[in-house]
């Protein structure tokens, strides 16, 4: 084994370990700075934006870059948060009334509502990924996120399994969620969304080549 390659791998791992922990703490702090309700989406957008730069090996200054995205996208990200919140309230209200209704009348609705809840979470993830990746209007972000979620089951399954793995990791190792919950979930979201975008680009390229050949 090449010692230089091994030591380089160890350094890279430790560097990512530190960055993910630091970003997670920043995400918690800036979410609280916005009184949670107004801080969650700006902090999440900032987190994903910095992670995207790190994945692209741009080596940003983490704090100043995070703070810059937080300020820059505070208003627009909270607009998205408002829309997501309204949709979420409708889902919660439906689940509440489902629980209050007689079992024999609503039992067949349980699994569809669970599926809708999962799709709601996936929609939020794709929406955030779209917001930091593409420059377009909010309605277009929403439309494209729904279409990507519906027509790309494999990336969505990858996202679900990734979320489950993070959940069990946090459950089994007390305290680790403070350092590696949101940041690792951010990596899962970006990896899944990137996979979906690559599949779409590949399909578009195939269609373009077919049109050219015809």
What is the residue extent of each domain of the chain? 10-213
First-to-last CA distance in the chain? 52
DSSP string, 134-167: ----HHHHHHHHHHHHHH-HHHHHHHHHHHHHHH
Confidence grade of residue 1 (pLDDT, cut at 50, 70, 90):
very low
Neighbour-count burial of 191, counting CB atoms closer than 10 A to its CB (0-12 exposed, 13-18 middle, 19+ buried):
middle
Mean pLDDT of the chain: 89
Checking 153-156 for CB contacts under 8 A at 24+ apart, the result is 154/195, 154/199, 155/192, 155/193, 155/195, 155/196, 155/199, 156/122, 156/192, 156/196
Enter the pTM of the model. Answer: 0.90
Whether 159 contacts 189, CB under 8 Å: yes
What pLDDT score does 66 carry? 98
Whether 23 contacts 47, CB under 8 Å: yes
DSSP string, 50-96: HHHHHHTT----HHHHHHHHHHHTHHHHHHHHHHHHHHHHHHHHHHH
DSSP 39: T
Q: Which residue has the higher pLDDT, 213 or 197?
A: 197
Confidence grade of residue 208 (pLDDT, cut at 50, 70, 90):
confident
How many CA atoms within 13 Å lie on the side-chain side of 163?
13
pLDDT digits (tens, 9 = 90+) for 79-111: 999 999 999 998 888 777 776 666 555 567 777
Q: What is the rounded distance in angstroms from the CA atom of residue 165 to the CA atom of residue 172?
A: 11
What pLDDT score does 32 carry? 96
């Amino acid at each position: 084994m090449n010692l230089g390659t091994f030591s380089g791998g160890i350094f890279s791992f430790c560097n990512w370990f530190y960055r993910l922990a630091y970003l997670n703490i920043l995400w918690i702090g800036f979410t609280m700075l916005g009184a949670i309700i107004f801080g969650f989406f700006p902090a999440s957008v900032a987190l994903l934006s910095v992670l995207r730069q790190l994945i692209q090996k741009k080596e940003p200054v983490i704090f100043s870059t995070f703070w810059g995205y937080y300020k820059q996208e505070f208003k627009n990200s909270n607009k998205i948060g408002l829309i997501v919140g309204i949709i979420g309230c409708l889902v919660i209200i439906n689940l509440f009334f489902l629980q209050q209704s007689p079992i024999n009348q609503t039992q067949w609705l349980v699994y569809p509502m669970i599926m809708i809840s999962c799709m709601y979470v996936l929609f939020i993830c794709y929406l955030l990924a779209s917001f930091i990746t593409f420059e377009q209007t909010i309605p277009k972000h929403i439309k494209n996120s729904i279409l990507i979620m519906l027509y790309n089951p494999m990336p969505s399954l990858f996202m679900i399994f990734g979320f489950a793995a993070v959940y069990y990791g946090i459950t089994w190792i007390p305290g680790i969620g403070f350092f590696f919950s949101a940041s690792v979930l951010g990596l899962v979201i970006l990896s899944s969304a990137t996979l979906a975008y690559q599949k779409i680009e590949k399909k578009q390229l195939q269609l373009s080549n077919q049109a050219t050949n015809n």
